[in-house]
Amino acid sequence: MSILKTIKKSLRASILLKMSLMFISILALNGCMAMTVISGVIGSVDSVAKEIKINKLEKKLDKLESKGTENGTKLEPTVGNSTQKDMQ
């Protein structure tokens, strides 16, 4: 008889443990989903803001290039060009 009672108690404990783990998992996954959605929204807003800044900088660069060609001077890229001063 005591063996049967022990088995029943262990089964109840096992069921309770499984149920509590299931509920904890559900809560954790729901929390992760909310954070995933929030971080996705923040990332997309940040991406749009950066795209707007890049477009403004491109417009300014185009204006500067057009001013340089109007005066008859040609703007040359300085990125990657080493000069004698840089070598020293």
pLDDT (tens digit per residue) in 30-78: 777 777 788 888 888 899 999 999 999 999 988 888 887 666 666 566 6
The domain tally of the chain equals 1
Distance between CA atoms of residues 43 and 50, nearest Å:
11
DSSP 63: H
Q: What is the pTM of this model?
A: 0.47
Q: Looking at the predicted structure, is the pLDDT value of residue 2 above 70?
A: yes
Query: Does some domain include residue 87?
Result: no
Q: Does 12 reside within a domain?
A: yes
For residue 74, being part of any structural domain is answered with no
Q: Take residue 44 and report the two structure tokens written for it.
A: 């997309």
